Amino acid sequence: MGTANNRKSIFITGAASGMGRESARLFRQKGWFVGAYDVNAEGLRALEAELGADNCVVRRLDVTDKADYERAIAEFGACTGGKMDILYNNAGIGVGGYFDELPFEDILRVVGVNFIGVLNGIHSAIGLLKATPGSLCFTTSSSSATYGMPGIAVYSATKHAVKGLTEALSIEFRRYGVRAADVLPGLIDTAILPPGTAERAPKEGMFRLIPPIEVAKVVWEAYHSDKLHWYVPSEIAELDKAAGNTPELVREQISSTMTFADEVASEKK
């Protein structure tokens, strides 16, 4: 376990793979001290070896366990002198299928990781963020937070909740000098995608396949900006605008693509 030694620091959940792992790599390259957390202990060990033990602290963490989250935050603070420049709430899971056909325990599991886990993280870390000038509370939302998506309704609902929470906290936390922002990624090439999705993804347009490093770059940019919502790719912003202005039209457009949604739902069962 390393110590920050006056370096800036970032606390990343879901760090063992995908967007979290790429963010850990990027911030290490930028000279930051990295806290990497995930339920995937093997992935964390590999990441620690890559980053160097003096440059990071890695720890298994189930974000739904508030008490353990608080312990992880305390341990991180002990390594950073009680500071945290970025809290990156990135951990998330997806369970596809039609809402009425899903086991209710699967629904609650998605809510637990994707939203309760974010609440646990922010509530546990706010003390360190308040103690750090210019700090940022950053969270992974989703393009599915622009309009409720069939086949992943609960996932989509949790990401809407994350987006709304971010907007509210971006105002509330101003009294501490803490910023809040989120990223709304489209189709990112990570393990959360069901088998075959990458091969069927369009080659262009807002739902083309995007490498996870592009999200990591956005986390870096967000730290140096006061922008609230970040879209990857940027065209997702147009869907967000359309969903707000003409939700009925977007509903019909999405309904016309239900064949793809049916395929995703059946593969995720």
Of the residues 155, 176, 223, 231, which is catalytic?
A: 155
Cβ atoms 133, 85 nearer than 8 A: no
Give strand pairing partners of 232.
185
Length of the chain: 269
The first and second tokens of residue 72, run together, are 């992880």
Q: Report the 10 Å Cβ neighbour count for 86.
A: 26
CA distances 85 to 50, 58, 136, 171, 180, Å, are 22, 17, 6, 18, 12
Q: How many alpha carbons lie under 13 Å from residue 177 in its C-beta half-sphere?
A: 9
In the residue annotation, 176 being an active-site residue is answered as: no
Q: Which residues pair with 231 in a beta bridge?
A: 184
Return d(Cα 147, Cα 142) in angstroms, integer: 10
How far apart CA 166 and CA 137 sit, in angstroms, is: 8
> What is the DSSP secondary-structure string of 109-122?
HHHIIIIIHHHHHH
Q: Which residues are annotated as catalytic? A: 155
